[in-house]
């Protein structure tokens, strides 16, 4: 990934006391996001409000669209207009956005979408935490495609991962998701924003060659091709239909295979470069707790307590949720007695863990419905169970 320093205009360097939602906005601005189209929905509204306030100061544009569908459609348009774009939403809005997320994936349009998760299904518990959209972010739109999703565990990480999300979306020309939750979104913590020259930003991979040779797509299955924007005389065409390299509709089985294979391979094939994990005390552990987001903060207490009582337990935090770290999980499953997976849902990422573990060890899920974070005791009990 080519990187440059961030544009100082968007970087609010210094120490701040921010909540996750606000930190997300600051991270996006630091990454160079200058167009935001969104719609208010609890518990994500604060991000939109921050953008609305900050946009004029950084020379960006904020628009509150009439609904989430309009927001995501405006993002696809805004990206092809040449800007780095973002929106934020929660469960019900996320569901509405799915069709155009598919359009963005199919047209390989970079953008960042944050989902500050709340309890569902449907209207659910608008003001309370959950981690119930983890599978939806991966499978929510129709058809075969791949996306990248990151999961911050603190307001600081909301800032850091927002920058990383933009970098990933520009590198792979794919919608990149930040799956926070209501608790991380609304908790206030210290957020340190470095000076602009210490923030690494991936600029858009602009096409440099002759106009006549420009092709909007290259189905290499290895990497994303360069992009242009409307208004520069390339006279290109972009469509959600199955298309060829020129972007023209090409409605055959063979072409669909070419396109879809490319969309899948460009992410799966680069999974090793994309995936980031945080592991603690995993070497020699008998039990590993795999978690993500706010749950991982409760896990650290449970793991400490378990270690005090003599259990050899480690933790693995999924910073990157998708693509899923199946290689690492498979590896660990071969060495440990059990993997414990606490989540604030009825079992979503645990399905991936089970799949990757392939029966090599026990997989114990610690689930509960949305509304509150885990009690460390419950996770401790599961760890003890796993250590038996």
Partner 1 sequence: MTYATSDAEFRSDSPMAEFLRMERMPHIWCPGCGIGSVVNAFAEAVKKSGVDMDKLAVVSGIGCTGRVAGYVKLDSFHTTHGRAIPFATGLKLANPDLKVVVVSGDGDLFGIGGNHFIHAARRNMDMVVICVNNFTYGMTGGQVTPTTPQSAQASTTPYGNYEYPFSLPFLADAAGATYVARWTSLHARNVTQAIREAMNHKGFSFIEVIAPCTTLYARRNRLGDGLNALEYYQGDAEIRHGADTRTVDIDFQGKIVVGKFVQREKPTYLEAVNTRYANVLGDDYQLYGKTQPEREEEAKRDAEARTLEAERMLAEDLPEGGE
- Which stretches of the chain bind partner 1, using CB under 8 A? 34-35, 37, 56-57, 59-61, 63, 65-67, 69-71, 73-83, 85, 99-100, 103, 229-241, 248-249
- Smallest gap from Cβ 369 to partner 1, in A, equals 33
Cβ-proximal residues to 364 (8 Å cutoff; 6+ apart), any chain: 338, 339, 340, 341, 382, 385, 386
Q: CB-wise, 68 or 181, nearer to partner 1?
A: 68
Shortest Å distance, C-beta 45 to partner 1? 19
Q: How far is the CB of 5 from partner 1 (least distance, A)?
A: 16
Burial class (CB in 10 A: 0-12, 13-18, 19+), 137: buried
Q: Which is nearer to partner 1, 73 or 373 (CB)?
A: 73
Task: Give the Å distances, CA to CA, from 134 to 9, 116, 152, 179, 279.
Answer: 34, 11, 13, 8, 21
Q: How far is the CB of 104 from partner 1 (least distance, A)?
A: 10
Dist CA 362 CA 384 (whole Å):
13
Q: Which residue has the tokens 């060495």?
A: 335
Give dist(CA 379, CA 367) in Å, integer: 10
Minimum distance from residue 68 beta carbon to partner 1 (Å): 10
| Angle of CA points 170, 176, 181, to nearest 5° | 145
* DSSP per-residue codes, 169-212: HHHHTSEEEEEEEHHHHH-EEEEEE--GGGSEE----B--S-GG
- Minimum Å gap between C-beta 118 and partner 1 is 24
Shortest Cβ 71–partner 1 spacing (Å): 8
CB of residue 100 to partner 1, shortest distance in Å: 6
Closer to partner 1 at the Cβ: 5 or 61? Answer: 61
Q: Kindly state the DSSP code that residue 339 receives in the 8-state scheme.
A: E
Q: Please provide the DSSP assignment of 262-328 as one string.
A: HHHHHHHTTHHHH--EEEES-TT-SEEEEE-TTHHHHHHHHHHHHHHTT--EEEEEESEEES--HHH
Q: Between 37 and 179, whose beta carbon lies closer to partner 1?
A: 37
> Which of 20/60 has CB closer to partner 1?
60
**142, burial (CB in 10 Å: exposed 0-12, middle 13-18, buried 19+):** exposed
User: What is the smallest separation between the CB atom of 360 and partner 1, expressed in angstroms?
Assistant: 43
Q: Which is nearer to partner 1, 238 or 271 (CB)?
A: 238
Of residues 110 and 293, the one with the C-beta less far from partner 1: 110
| Pairing of the two strands 362-367 and 338-343 | parallel
Shortest Cβ 37–partner 1 spacing (Å) = 6
Nearer to partner 1, 81 or 121 (CB): 81
Task: Decide: residue 191, CB within 10 A, 0-12 exposed, 13-18 middle, 19+ buried.
Answer: buried
**Burial of residue 384 (number of CB atoms within 10 Å: 0-12, 13-18, 19+):** middle
In this complex, which beta carbon is closest to partner 1, that of residue 34 or of residue 266? Answer: 34
Of the pair 8, 347, the CB lying nearest partner 1 is at 8
DSSP 126: E
Query: Is residue 47 within a helix (H) or strand (E), and if so which, with residue range?
Result: helix 45-58
């Amino acid at each position: 990934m080519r990187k440059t320093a961030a544009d100082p205009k968007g970087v609010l360097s210094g120490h701040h006391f921010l909540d996750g939602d606000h930190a997300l906005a600051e991270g996006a601005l630091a990454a160079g996001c200058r167009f935001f189209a969104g719609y208010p929905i609890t518990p994500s509204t604060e991000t939109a409000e921050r953008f609305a306030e900050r946009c004029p100061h950084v020379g960006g544009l904020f628009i509150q669209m009439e609904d989430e569908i309009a927001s995501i459609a405006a993002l696809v348009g805004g990206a092809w207009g040449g800007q780095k774009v973002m929106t934020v939403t929660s469960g019900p809005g996320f569901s509405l956005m799915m069709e155009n997320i598919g359009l963005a994936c199919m047209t390989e349009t970079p953008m960042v979408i944050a989902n500050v998760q709340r309890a569902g299904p449907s209207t659910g518990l608008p003001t309370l935490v959950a981690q119930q959209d983890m599978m939806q972010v991966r499978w929510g739109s129709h058809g075969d495609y791949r996306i990248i999703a990151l999961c911050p565990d603190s307001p600081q990480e909301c800032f850091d991962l927002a920058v990383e999300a933009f970098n990933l979306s520009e590198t792979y020309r794919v919608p990149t998701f930040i799956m926070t939750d209501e608790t991380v979104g609304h908790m206030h913590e210290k957020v340190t924003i470095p000076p602009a020259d210490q923030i690494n930003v991936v600029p858009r991979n602009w096409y440099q060659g002759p106009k006549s040779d420009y092709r909007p797509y290259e189905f290499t299955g290895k990497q994303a091709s360069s992009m242009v924007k409307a208004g520069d005389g390339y006279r290109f065409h972009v469509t959600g239909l199955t298309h060829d390299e020129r972007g023209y509709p090409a409605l055959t089985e063979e072409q669909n295979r070419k396109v879809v294979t490319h969309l899948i391979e460009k992410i799966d094939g680069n999974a090793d470069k994309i995936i980031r994990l945080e592991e603690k005390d995993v070497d020699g552990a008998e039990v590993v707790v795999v978690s993500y987001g706010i749950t991982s903060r409760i896990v650290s207490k449970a793991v400490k307590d378990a270690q005090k009582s003599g259990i050899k337990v480690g933790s693995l935090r999924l910073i990157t949720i998708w693509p899923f770290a199946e290689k690492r999980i498979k590896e660990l499953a071969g060495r440990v007695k059990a993997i414990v997976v606490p989540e604030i849902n009825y079992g979503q990422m645990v399905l991936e863990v089970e799949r990757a573990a392939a029966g090599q060890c026990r997989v114990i899920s610690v689930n509960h419905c949305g509304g509150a974070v885990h009690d460390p005791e419950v996770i401790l009990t599961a760890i003890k169970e796993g250590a038996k």
